[in-house]
Structure 1
Amino acid sequence: MTTGTPPRNQPAGARRSRLRTFLPLGVAAWVVLEIWLLTVVAGAVGGFTLFLLLAAAFVLGAVVIKAAGRRAFQNLSETIQRQQQPGAVEAGEQRSQGNGLLMLAGLLLMIPGLVSDAFGLLLLVPPLRAALSRYTERAIERKMSVATQGAFGGAFQQARMKQSGSTVIQGEVVREDEGPRGHRDDSDPRPPIMPS
């Protein structure tokens, strides 16, 4: 028999996130809706017509994913070439936006189902894709700014402290006492960092 107490590794005030609570319910509702809609459309237009519609959506999704992948590879090649040329102006950032959403659109089109096909077709509309890309970018920036100020702020700060060609080692500075040849005073309780 289980009790209402949280597990030992979870604090008493911690609650299950909304995403973990509602994601399985959302996926189950989506699958039921897709199956129901497929049966309704198959009854209205016929099974063979529905099969042709799903096959066409699959082929369109494959074409979209291939085009987005080719565009992403071309943008990567151009970025590498720009970085190899000294003083190159950063251009083409606008063209690289939306590749992830194009791939998502292709994936949604390839999944058998009419609701996923509708969402995939909506993501193919350029103004809608650009607006969704800007919204997603702002949401990620907000989450990252909260994360950098939270518990992982120290880790992010340490990662930012690293510069190319140098390493920052946090520690304590131990000054050598004034003496012949820089020997330490034996009354100091701290051992030397490196043996002399």
Structure 2
Amino acid sequence: MWLFVLFVAVPLIEIALFIQVGGAIGLWPTLAVVVLTALLGTTLVRSQGLQAMNDLRGSFSELRDPSEALAHGAMILFSGALLLTPGFFTDAVGFALLIPPIRLAIMRYAKSRINVQKFEMGAGPQRRQPASDQTIDTAEYTDLDVAEPGPSSPSGWTKDPSRD
């Protein structure tokens, strides 16, 4: 239900803001502000996204928990989508998500609401298949004669009779 309210409320807020800002500064300056915020947002998202990617690589190479770097990256990605969406409200939320203390506050709130039951890193316990009654303990085999190496078989995959 809250998602439906969000999909209805955000466009209504954007339309109201466009009318107010457009009435105050005019059509072309309003459109210029929308395009400039998209360009500025793209630049900021790119630089912060690269930093988040480097933090993620560092956490993997140092075997640290990557969840914080992943959360930062996800919020930066979401802020990029908001900044590319035309509108003043979405731009304000997008720019807010580019501020690291705000992202940290959101992560703290999310951590307080999420309960992790189990977390493991690495291979974990190895599971073995139970032995069955059809297990073969011994087997017989016959070594087949292979042609002597010569001009007709130059590869090293043939049997060398001198090594028997």
Normalised TM-score (structure 1): 0.54
Confirm whether residue 133 of structure 1 aligns to residue 72 of structure 2.
no
Structure 2: distance between partners of 1:81 and 1:124: 25
In 2, Cα distance between the equivalents of 1:79 and 1:67? 19
Contact 1:102 1:124 in 2 (8 A): yes
Determine the structure 1 residue equivalent to 2:134.
195
CA-to-aligned-CA distance 1:131-157 (integer Å, 9 cap, x gap):
1121123323x2x44xx7xxxxxxx9x
Unaligned runs of 5+ in 1: 1-20, 84-89, 149-155, 174-192
| Alignment match, 1:98 | 72
1:48 paired residue number? 28
- Does the CA contact (< 8 Å) of 2:49 and 2:77 recur in 1? yes
| Deviation by residue 1:119-139 (Cα, 9 ceiling, x = unmatched) | 122223332222112112332
Distance 1:107 1:131, change over 3 A: same
Determine if contact 2:41/2:84 at 8 Å carries over to the other structure: yes
TM normalised by structure 2 equals 0.63
1:119 to 2:103 alignment: no
Residue by residue, what CA displacement relative to the aligned partner does 1:58-101 show, whole Å, maximum 9, x if unpaired?
Answer: 01221122123211332233344435xxxxxx599977763332
Retained in 2: the 8 A contact 1:61–1:107? no
- What's the offset of the Cα at 1:46? 0.7
The Cα shift of 1:25 comes to 2.5
Give the whole-Å Cα distance in 1 for the aligned partners of 2:70 and 2:133.
50
Instruction: List aligned pairs for 1:1-196, cutoff 5 A.
Output: 21-82=1-62, 98-140=72-114, 142=115, 144-145=116-117, 163=124, 166-167=126-127, 193-195=132-134
**Equivalent residues of 1:60, 1:106 under 8 A apart:** no
Letter in 1 for 2:73: N
Q: How many residues get paired?
A: 134
Q: CA RMSD in A?
A: 3.5
| Structure 2 unaligned residues grouped into runs of 5+ | 136-164
Alpha carbons of structure 1 residues 133 and 56: separation in structure 2 relative to 1, 3 Å? same
Larger Rg: 2
SS of equivalent to 1:195: coil
Distance 1:118 1:37, change over 3 A: same
Distance 1:135-1:168 versus aligned 2 partners, 3 A rule? farther
Structure 2 SS opposite 1:66: helix
* CA deviation after TM superposition for structure 1 residue 194, in Å: 3.1
In 1, Cα distance between equivalents of 2:109 and 2:103: 10
